[in-house]
Structure 1
Amino acid sequence: MHFRKFVAIAAIGLCTAGTAWAKDYKAGQIEVDDLWVRASAPGQANGAGYMDIDNDAKAPDRLLSVTSDAAERVELHTVQTEGGVSRMRQVEGGIPLPADGGVKLSPGGYHVMFIKLKAPFKDGATVPATLKFEKAGEVAVEFKVKPASHNPGMSHDHGAMKH
């Protein structure tokens, strides 16, 4: 009898522990998760941030800006390929979020640029920031710093870019 009770309590503990590891943030009906940046390489002045944004609202919204004390300036960027050459460009007017849809900020696409870092991003640390949405308002978040070698797919080296 005691053993069954122990197993049931342990199972519940494991289920809730799994959800505690995922750090989700909400602003209105917008949910933001999987926020990350790579650890800085020596001498790297800039860093790129990534995340998943889900808009559960029946109306579209827009990520207007990101602010953070970790850098002199923070901008929303995308990568455009013209004539076989990929170039990073600042996004004017924010990143559109479709109604009942989502946007993934990832290497090679939309991303957050932390320009002129005040201190290097250290593996295992977090980078606090505030996301500002057109309709859903603001939400304080933290980007998890992953190893410099972290590569979920296509990669761009933003640290070497001059702004």
Structure 2
Amino acid sequence: MRILQFVFAAALTLVAFVGAQAHSYRVGEIQIGHPWTRATPPAAKVAGAFMSFTNEGGAADRLVGGSSPIAEKVEIHTMEMTGGVMKMRPLADGLEVAAGAKVELAPGGIHIMLIGLKQPIAEGDKVPLTLTFEKGGDIEVELAADKMGAGGKAQDHGSHGHGESKKTDHSTH
């Protein structure tokens, strides 16, 4: 009986370890941590993707693009408050991850935009996303879909909702 308990405990530990490892990725010298997105309303055409990049190498690398089968295109965006208006714009040259640096992609700041969604994203979905780094190349990650409005100080990026105290300028898309 003890052997069976040991085997069962070992199996549970392995499942927990594999599950934890599945949400961390590595491409070249870049460690990618906890990629996630938010659930979207049924008619949403865009969604944000968030994660962290840690460059463990001695030279900078740059996130230059990406793709996803659920979106027409993928862009790297920044959000900035200018004169009381939240402005989003694509980063034309991509996103540098300096040697030894950690860059957080988060709601209300730098993020990845999934544009032209082909289907809504539901809480609990696993959304495939391929990231392209200048030096490290391509890596396929899986975005864990959290609930609408999760994880941040910003409004729900997927629906481009408008808060009472902020205006959003969509002319930069």
TM above 0.5, yes or no, is yes
**TM-score, normalising length: structure 1:** 0.86
1:19 aligns with 2:22: no
Corresponding position of 1:57: 57
1:115 aligns with 2:115: yes
Show CA shifts across 1:43-71 (max 9, x none): 21111111111111111111111111211
Amino acid at match of 2:16: G
- Greater than 2 Å deviation, 4+ residue runs: 5-19, 156-163
Amino acid at match of 2:18: A
Show CA shifts across 1:93-145 (max 9, x none): 11110111211110011111111101111221111111111111111111111
Specify every segment of 5 or more residues in structure 1 that has no aligned partner in the other structure, as ranges. none
Aligned length: 160
Percent identity between the two aligned chains: 35
Corresponding position of 1:153: 152
Note the aligned Cα RMSD (angstroms): 2.0
SS at 1:19 equivalent: helix
Specify every segment of 5 or more residues in structure 2 that has no aligned partner in the other structure, as ranges. 161-169
Q: What is the alpha-carbon distance in structure 1 between the residues aligned to residue 55 and residue 42 of structure 2?
A: 37
Q: What is the alpha-carbon distance in structure 2 between the residues aligned to residue 67 and residue 20 of structure 1?
A: 25
SS at 1:54 equivalent: strand
Alpha-carbon offset, residue 8 of structure 1: 6.2
SS at 2:64 equivalent: strand
**TM-score, normalising length: structure 2:** 0.81
Q: What is the alpha-carbon distance in structure 2 between the residues aligned to residue 10 and residue 58 of structure 1?
A: 43
